A and B are shown apart, each in its own frame.
Chain A
Amino acid sequence: MSRRSRSSGVRGPNSALTEFLRNAGITDAYRQRREREANGEIVSEDTSVEPEGVNVNIEEAEEEVVAVEVVTRRSRSRRGVMAIPEQEEEEEDDEEIRQIKLAARRKRNARRGKNDNDNADEDEDEYDPEFSDFDDEIGTNGTKKFGEEDTCVDCGKEFHLTVYSRYLRDKKGYLCENCNEQLKDRERKARKNQLNARKKRRTLAQALLNKSEVRIPKLQDICIKKISANIDDVEALGDIGQVNLNKLSQILSKNRSLNDSTISLFLNPSLKSIEFWDCSNVDSDSLMKIASYCPYIESLTLFMCGQLHNDTLSYYNSHLKNLKELCLNGPFLISETAWQEFFEQSGSRLQKFEIRNTHRFSNDSLISLLENAGSKLISLKLSRLDGLDSAAVYDLIPHYISTSTLTHLEISYPHNEHLITDDLLINILAITGESLQSLNVDGCTNLTDNFLIDGISKFCPNLTHLSMKLLDQLTDKGFAQAFTEFSQVNNGGLLSVDLTKCIGLGDESVYALFKHSSHTLIELSLNSLNEISKDFLIQVFTNDLSEYKKSIKQSAQDDDQVVFYNHIRLPLLTTWDCGFVRAVDDEVLQLIGKNCPKLSVLEVYGNNRCTSRAVIAEGLMVIGRQNDSI
């Protein structure tokens, strides 16, 4: 058609590829001739319909050729430059293109066979890349047409072949309708299973992130869910027990649904202690209700209490006569004078005081607290108080606290690091170290080894909880020395230790820590202690009697470079964060599992040598491996 149209000057619509092939002067005349020569037989029919054949050929080749169009383009540019005569050029043409054309030609032949019954247009429409091979087969077998009887390759029954019949490549035949339905069903199921498996993986990964296991909800959880959904309708929660009430309030806080209406459900005159972990939706009037409904409260914990006003605090001051413990997080509306007033009136009763996240708690407020309550305090927690910016005021702490009374002390994330010095903490510990059970100095980045050596290791015989995140000035040697000395003073052992991002620490410190507290440790964080070596971890978790350890012991005696570490077991350890300790890999994971029988949560974020292939002890949840991603 193309040649004819060129002569007449009239052309019908044609595709870009047809245009291109025509411009490039590509016809299949040459290929046809060669084929004839090769076969040695001349199909007269073929020659008679040739012009039409060319067109179909081109159009069909187009459908297949998309992927290799680039190749074709390249050959075009070559052609443009060199202007090789058409026939020679054809010879050089890519093998690929020839293949495509060949396939297209076979298809055309097959179609021509069918054209006896169907008309050509329909044929065009039903072409489907998925069935591209099927035409070949038909062509070679020269078999059935649509509408004819065929035998099902699966069940062997006779059936009428239709356009919807499915061709099975591996069995080289069609399926009858029933078998096709069954096959479709199976495929659908397989797809569903695949989806389910994906969903399962996702739920598991999600649960892992929440540090929970996927399990059937407890009936209690279901009830609490139901109650919190209907909380507005429940007049009085009645007698469900304080434990459940607390649980409910925690759940409401977690859902951020504790508000003015729900808060009154938890207020009960007999209460002695109240904990609300998210008061952001509770306004100051409702907070006042706490004091009017529950006048006998001894312990009050309000977190996210940004709506707590001066007058609310003074109302507490005048109504809560038994208040001994006050923990506030984020009370940034309370002014200096209000604090002063509060401490002057209620300070003498206070035993526990915790305040976090407010810039209005100033130097004077702390002085006032110390003057009025300092000597009786058994728990003092000061965290992220940007208003406290005088080192001299911090230095007053040791002067006001009385000997051996404080059991919990937290001074964390000060306004700037120079406020908290080694000397300050050593002074405090010298006074009250004996009674201290928990010490938290997170983010006091000015602290050095001296604080450990002259402070903790000398004065803290009863310490069980130690948290010192981000103390980057601590050194491996200093920590190890301090803990070796510490074991002289404190032979009880620590229960929880947080050394997150104390990046100076390494094998020796961890070994000293294990030596001292391995039998008591329950929680441990060595996050980002990148200096820890794999060799150390393997030694520590391998039995001393093994051949490997014996040989190390031997070589340690001969060679100063080699260090021998004894076998350590951590019988009580339940939570361990060893994220970004790159030495932890699959092998170490397995050893950890063997030596920490109680371990249930192990975090390995950033340790990309921990893979899905690791052998993990039963009951241990390993969080943060790359393959767990959702």
Chain B
Amino acid sequence: MSSDTEYVTLVSADNHKFIVMKEVAQISSVIKSSQGFQEGETGKISLDMDGDILECIVEYLYYHYKYKDQAETGNIPEFNIPTHLALELLVKADFLDI
């Protein structure tokens, strides 16, 4: 957990890069556990998914980060996903355990 870099880079299969706060990325237990390996040193995590999917996932991670303390009040905005990505996103979300 204690690392010099506060940010990690998530790389999609078609080479889109998303620089994300480490704390945010670690909401996904899969990303969190990958830190112990080579990915932890380079700060780069390659994920087998397209850029648009990854974008959605990064958006969700920040959404989760932003609202996690307010969940109890029940008035957090809904997170919207594009319908045509729903199926693929479901598979990837399952993979990332988010």
Contact = CB atoms under 8 A, between A and B. Distances in A.
Interface of A: 196, 199-200, 203-204, 214-220, 222-224, 226-227, 230, 233-234, 237-241, 243-244
Interface stretch (B9-17, B42-50, B84-92): B84-92
B81 interface: yes
Contacts of A243: 94
Contacts of A244: 90-91, 94
Given A196-B73, A203-B73, A204-B72, A220 B90 contact: yes
A313 to B, nearest CB: 34
Contacts of A204: 72
A219 B53 CA distance: 12
Contacts, number: 69
Q: Which of A223, A230, A241 has the most CB of B within 10 A?
A: A223
27 contacts: A199-B73, A199-B74, A199-B75, A200-B73, A203-B73, A204-B72, A214-B72, A215-B71, A216-B64, A216-B68, A216-B76, A219-B57, A219-B79, A219-B93, A220-B93, A220-B94, A220-B98, A222-B79, A223-B86, A223-B89, A224-B90, A226-B81, A227-B86, A227-B87, A234-B87, A241-B94, A244-B90
A222 B87 contact: no
A226 B86 CA distance: 7
B91 A239 contact: yes
Given A196-B75, A214-B72, A216-B68, A223 B81 contact: yes
B74 A216 contact: no
Given A203-B73, A223-B93, A240 B98 contact: no
A404 to B, nearest CB: 40
Contacts of A203: 72-74
Main secondary structure of the interface of B (DSSP, over half): helix
Which interface class (under 10, 10 to 19, 20 to 34, 35 or more) fits B?
20 to 34
A403 to B, nearest CB: 44
Contacts of A199: 73-75
Interface in B5-34: none
A194 to B, nearest CB: 13
Given A215-B68, A220-B94, A226-B86, 13 more contacts: A200-B72, A203-B72, A203-B74, A216-B71, A217-B79, A218-B98, A222-B79, A227-B86, A227-B87, A230-B83, A233-B83, A240-B91, A241-B94
Contacts of B98: 218-220
A199 B86 CA distance: 31
A438 B63 CA distance: 44
A219 B60 CA distance: 7
Contacts of A214: 71-72, 74
